[in-house]
A and B are shown apart, each in its own frame.
Chain A
Amino acid sequence: MHGILLLTKTEINRLRRNRRYLIFTTALPVVLYLLWSKAGKSAYGVDFAAYYMVAMATFGAFAGALNGNAIRISEERKVGWIRQLRLTPLPASGYVIAKILTAMATTIVSIVIVMVIGRFYGGVHLALWQWLVVAVIIWLGSTIFAALAVAIGYRYPPDQAQPITLFVYLVFTILGGVWFPLTGALGNIGKATPTYEAIKISTDVIGNVSVPGYLILGLFVWLAVFAALATLSVRSMAETV
């Protein structure tokens, strides 16, 4: 465990220096929020500013857990770093666990920053428990994408991992209602996505309505699916890493 934490610490330090990462996970959501939070009246039964805050927090956390991770994992496999780690006493699952822990440690920061902007710029007022629950839902809901990042990063070389990740990212964010609220037929398809589920649970909490159990169940199902894909990817690449 000590080794995994040490690797996590190194990864966090490394990420903090990565400008692209900081832009996509924090700067961009904040800028978008400042631009668009007053653009609508309401969505999903709450103020538009509240919905958009949840959407932007999800956007930043999601990008942090998926995009950079998948490509980094793919490159680290190609460069041989994962192989080198196998020669150290770090347990076999240590690399993946460290990546997930790193994603968790860094996405919570961007979620909090967006929420602060939501509170002081967007005028979103919530009870303390609501802030906490929404933050945790978005945090956990996006961390499951770290598992998907492992699945993609292990299976594909960097030049394929990039377009695949971008495609997956667009599908889940557009269909999930991150860019704009879902309506109509497309919206109905999108309701199955974990991004939608995280946003809807959060807006339900904000709106003080009871959260339908199937939304929460949905998140767990997606987690199981991504974890299974990740395990398959890692196992199928076992000899060549």
Chain B
Amino acid sequence: MTSHSGTGPVVSFENVSKHYGQLKAVDGLSLDLRAGETVALLGPNGAGKSTSLDMLLALRKPTAGKIQMFGNDPYHAVKSGRVGAMLQSGGLMPEVTVRELVTLVAGLHPRPVPVDTTLRRAGIADIADQRVDRLSGGQTQRVRFSLAIAGESDLIVLDEPTTAMDVETRRRFWAQMKEEVAEGRTLLFATHYLEEADQAADRILVINRGRLLADGTPDDIKKRAGAKRMSFHLDGVDESVLLRLPGIVSLETRHDFVQLQTDDSDATLYALLDAGYRPSEVEIGSLGLEQAFLAITAEDDRAGETESAPAR
């Protein structure tokens, strides 16, 4: 089905920029997506995720740089039916039923999936005969998702796919996406839910202020933040003492429970022990993805415009 024998990246951005007057929504973005990968685009609001996806899907044109999808320009790749996309909002034809809409979009696709199958996969079989403009927010979201999978695509692009979803629907959504990807599809999704990126993605691209800050597995990103989490129990110690330990980035205490971030966990631990303290239940680990993400983007914001974005 997916005949992409590694002859080139599925998606490539070469130094892509999008300027609106003085505003640089996307600034020199370069990245490659390889077949079969599940990649998360992670970034705060205004980072340029939606703009980048819009340009990938030929909805907007870059100011500079080159975008290719399956070795072709985005417009032709989309028109050849190789991409299924789910937008962040809107996008449904008024005054028709769910079934009619899915039937239409499937029929426009060169490799349509049977309508009943799509309805089932998106969890909208029970509302198939309801009018599309009379659905709840969550139902509308699922219909929008169904349009992305109404045809057999090689690449699926999702912009904030689970925003309006409750826990159960989200779980079912990712279970469905896993099935889609298992058949060899490439998946690219933008999200601000870090846990979702952590669990679902093989690779994370961290975007901030229109540039790529980090590119790696969830573990790589966590390690990249450098800092480590340390927690322990310690009776009767002064916060001011702890603050003077080497490497400390941040500190939180609750009765005898201490939680801190340090960029040199060894130095902090040894200093604590050398000072004669004997903490118990010491735990040292990497930052969660959220902290790593915040650390990376905060660092970038502080560095201002002189920082150059590492590609990998």
- Chain B hits for A125, CB < 8 A: none
A45 contacts B by Cβ under 8 Å: no
Q: Which of A3, A10, A81, A88 contacts B90 (CB 8 A)?
A: A81
Closest CB in chain B relative to A241 CB, distance in Å:
8
User: Which stretch of A72-80, A134-142, A143-151, A210-218 is in the interface?
Assistant: A72-80
Select which of B57, B81, B89 is within 8 A of A89 by beta carbon.
B81
The 8 Å CB contact of A80, one of B57, B91, B105, is: B91
- State whether the Cβ of B100 lies closer than 8 Å to any Cβ in chain A: yes
Interface presence of B294 (CB below 8 A) = no
**Shortest CB–CB separation between residue A35 and chain B, in angstroms?**
31
The answer on a CB contact under 8 Å between B78 and A87 is yes
Query: When the two chains form their complex, are residues B96 and A14 in contact, meaning their CB atoms are under 8 A apart?
Result: yes
Q: Are A18 and B95 in contact (CB under 8 A)?
A: yes
Which residue on chain B has the smallest CB distance to residue A72?
B94
- As a 0/1 sequence over residues 97 to 110 of chain B, the CB contacts with chain A under 8 angstroms (1 = contact) are 00010011101111
Q: Does B11 contact A (CB under 8 A)?
A: no
Q: Does B177 sit within 8 A of A, measured CB to CB? A: no
| Cα(A87)–Cα(B108), bound, Å | 10
Q: How many angstroms between the C-alpha atoms of A206 and B88 in the bound complex?
A: 56
Check B87 against A80 for contact (C-beta < 8 Å).
yes
Considering only residues 72-98 of chain B, those with a C-beta below 8 Å from chain A are: 78-81, 83, 85, 87, 89-96
The chain B residue with its CB closest to the CB of A90 is B108
- Nearest CB of chain A from residue B173's CB, rounded to whole Å: 19
Report, as a range, how many residues of chain B touch the other chain. Answer: 20 to 34
Main SS class of interface, B = loop
Contacts of A89 in B (CB 8 A): 78-81, 108-110
Tell me, rounded to whole Å, the shortest Cβ–Cβ distance linking A80 to chain B.
3
Complex CA–CA separation, A55 to B78 (angstroms)? 46
State how many angstroms separate the Cβ of A81 from the closest Cβ of chain B: 5
Is A123 among interface residues, defined by CB-CB distance under 8 A? no
Contact yes or no, A81 B108, CB < 8 A:
no
Give Cα distance in the complex from A13 to B85, angstroms. Answer: 26
- A239 lies within 8 A of chain B by Cβ: yes
Residues on B lying within 8 angstroms of A by beta carbon are: 57-61, 78-81, 83, 85, 87, 89-96, 100, 103-105, 107-110, 147
7 more CB-based (< 8 A) A-B contacts, given A6-B108, A76-B94, A80-B90: A10-B100, A10-B104, A14-B93, A14-B96, A80-B91, A81-B92, A87-B83
